[in-house]
Chain A
Amino acid sequence: MTSFVLLIQSPPSTPANLHALNFAKTLLAQGHELQRLFFYGQGVYTAFSAAVTPHGEFDAGDAWQQLVEAHHLDAVVCIAAALRRGVLDEPEALRHGKAANLLRKGFELAGLGMLVESILTADRCMTFG
């Protein structure tokens, strides 16, 4: 068994984001450990709850959320990258006087230290996007 951290930097609907999703599903199916998902850069839009995907199109955000909830994954969204793109949870929305909680369930906002910690401890780090 190998432990992985995935660094996802591309928004949903891009090939890199979808490759990351399929990679995550496959490594779990093969019995490996997914220590952490770290969404960075444009990848933070994966955790944006207010986007509506047109009928009949694949909703990558939903697919990620289902995976995170089904496997109780540690899904971290970089707080600095998220704030500058408007992906706020309730405490951050209140703190900055913004409208609403826009973070998908199962995801949490945290600092880059979470990425560094995983790079140091996981066997493999995969960058997508």
Chain B
Amino acid sequence: MTIKCLVIFRESPYSGLRAREGLEAVMAMAAYDQQPQLVFMAEGVWQLMAQQDELERKNHSKMLAALSLYGVDQLFVHTPSLIARGLSHAALLLPCEPLDNTTLSALIAQSHKVLSF
């Protein structure tokens, strides 16, 4: 059984364990043959930055890059969140489809289950 599942990341990669544990949940879904779609918004857009100097932590961007090996390759980024932080799509590590508020709402509405980390 496959369902349309959306996972929203809203926290920066090293401020706590939320981002890391969210990714682990995504990997568990992949192990059950699910391919959740991922959205990065608010502070969560920092998870996508190509340059990350982690402090005694596992490199988050490397874990994100490995997701495609698990068949999780539909990534979205909330463009207004990028703009609010002075960031652009050029700074992103992985190819992400841009979302505005309208397309984000539509994506959430189309999903059977939505998780938020």
Contact = CB atoms under 8 A, between A and B. Distances in A.
Nearest to A40: B21
B17 A113 contact: no
Chain A interface residue number, banded:
10 to 19
A68 B50 CA distance: 44
Given A80-B24, A112-B24, A125-B115, A120 B1 contact: yes
A127 B22 CA distance: 12
Interface of B: 1, 3, 5, 17-18, 21, 24-25, 28-29, 31-32, 34, 113-117
27 contacts: A9-B18, A9-B117, A40-B25, A41-B18, A41-B21, A80-B24, A81-B21, A112-B24, A113-B28, A113-B31, A113-B32, A115-B25, A115-B28, A116-B28, A116-B29, A116-B32, A117-B32, A119-B3, A119-B5, A119-B29, A119-B115, A120-B3, A120-B32, A120-B34, A125-B113, A125-B114, A127-B114
